[in-house]
Structure 1
Amino acid sequence: MNPTIKTFSTTKFIGKTLSFTYADYRAFELWSSFMPRLKEIKNTIGSELYNIQINPENFDFQPNTPFTKWAAVAVSTFENIPVGMESLEIQEGLYAVFNYKGDQSNVAAFFNSIYTEWLPSSNYELGNHPQFEVLGEKYKNNDPNSEEEIWIPIKLRN
């Protein structure tokens, strides 16, 4: 695991949101409700999709601890938000960016390695800003050749 350390610029998003737990993981439901309506968002920047996770403070990664997931796209302004969608602004922050290749069968183990191996042995600790995956042109849902970027919020250890 050799992430790139990057600063993510303040970015506006429009999308759909749903709260759930790892034990009751409902990301498919969220994305299934978002994708048919994607073209309703008129002021998009780029073609990437963002799978954003907002964890509560002191998130413990336990199966029944709720968090909020977003299916979203970056936008230039918050004008004309489609009915049933919401806006989110992620402030500038420091991230460890990991490239993940493969289908979804190994993604949980990949995240586990980030949090239990890479993070404890790095000069960083988990930051309080949202984590997200960037689903770009190389992303192919549940395909072994799929590629995505995983952005983990970090801050220097004290």
Structure 2
Amino acid sequence: MLKPRIEALKEKRLVGKHLRMSLAQNRTEELWGSFMPMIKTISNTISDNKFSLQVYPKDYFDNFDPTIEFEKWAMVEVVDFINVPGQCSTFVLQAGLYAVFDYKGSGTNSRIFEYIFSSWLPNSDYILDNRPHFEVLGEKYKNNHPESEEQIWIPVRHK
């Protein structure tokens, strides 16, 4: 299956909106629906890429439960935090090591995450690190289309 590349991410400055949700009470559509109209009001963006970022509780993956809440962000990367629209928040994504999976397929297909956490990670030289997880939604991202492409960034550290 998919083999990731390991990247040392440099710190990023992001601007966007966030909501608390769980996988059982998924509010992703609501989050992006409220953020997308605001993107054009955010100055000094670095690219057209969008970031879907999750901040999970420390023990989220130890005893997985789809009803446990986490914080999900819809964001864009910016040069600095000058002129942030009033309804948006800022987020500094700290530098760190990530396993990056280039994924092609529908965003509603959870099998890629099952593979990452049940197969790839346990058999790799890495363990999960307690930092944000995120997806980069670039120009080839087509929401839930089977030909959609995105990058899945999983925070890791050496075993």
What is the TM-score when the length of structure 1 is the normalising length?
Answer: 0.96
Number of equivalences:
156
Q: Say what the alpha-carbon RMSD is for the aligned residues.
A: 0.9
Any gaps of 5 or more consecutive residues in structure 1? Answer: none
Query: Percent of aligned pairs with the same residue?
Result: 46
SS at match of 1:143: coil
Of 44, 57, 63, the match for 2:66: 63
Q: Tell me how far apart the structure 2 counterparts of residues 141 and 124 of structure 1 sit (CA, whole Å).
A: 30
Q: Tell me how far apart the structure 1 counterparts of residues 139 and 53 of structure 2 sit (CA, whole Å).
A: 17
Q: Tell me how far apart the structure 2 counterparts of residues 104 and 69 of structure 1 sit (CA, whole Å).
A: 15
Range with bigger deviation, 114-123 or 137-146: 137-146
What is the TM-score when the length of structure 2 is the normalising length?
Answer: 0.95
Any gaps of 5 or more consecutive residues in structure 2? Answer: none
User: Which residue of 2 is the match for residue 37 of structure 1?
Assistant: 38
Q: CA deviation at 1:99?
A: 1.1
Q: CA deviation at 1:142?
A: 1.5
Q: CA deviation at 1:105?
A: 3.4
| Counterpart code for 2:40 | K
User: Which residue of 2 is the match for residue 78 of structure 1?
Assistant: 81
User: Which residue of 2 is the match for residue 10 of structure 1?
Assistant: 11
**Shift >3 Å, 4+ stretches:** none
Q: CA deviation at 1:143?
A: 1.3
